[in-house]
Amino acid sequence: MNELLLGAFGALLVLGAGATILEHDPYKKIISLSVLIAGIIPFIVDRGLLDVATAVALIAPLSTIFILMAVRRATP
């Protein structure tokens, strides 16, 4: 992975993390969190850890669904 791609995926991570901190609406926080996940996956794949990448790609949406249950209970 060259420096340009490193910077681009790192920019996705930083943008997602910053937006997750700064948003106030819980749905917007969850959407920003999935931008952060999109920045993480290419770093795992680039090291060759494809099984870990598959597991992370499947676990992250499941955890989002569990967070959504809490969001719906908080704002009925």
Q: Which residues bind another protein (CB under 8 A)?
A: 1, 4-5, 8-9, 11-12, 15-16, 19, 25, 27-28, 30-32, 34-35, 37-38, 41-42, 45-46, 48, 50-51, 53-54, 57-58, 60-61, 64-65, 68, 71-72
The two three-digit tokens of residue 75, written as one number:
């704002």
Q: Cβ of residue 38: shortest distance to another protein, in angstroms?
A: 5
Burial class (CB in 10 A: 0-12, 13-18, 19+), 16: buried
Q: Cβ of residue 1: shortest distance to another protein, in angstroms?
A: 7
Q: Helix crossing, 50-74 with 26-46: angle to 10°? A: 170
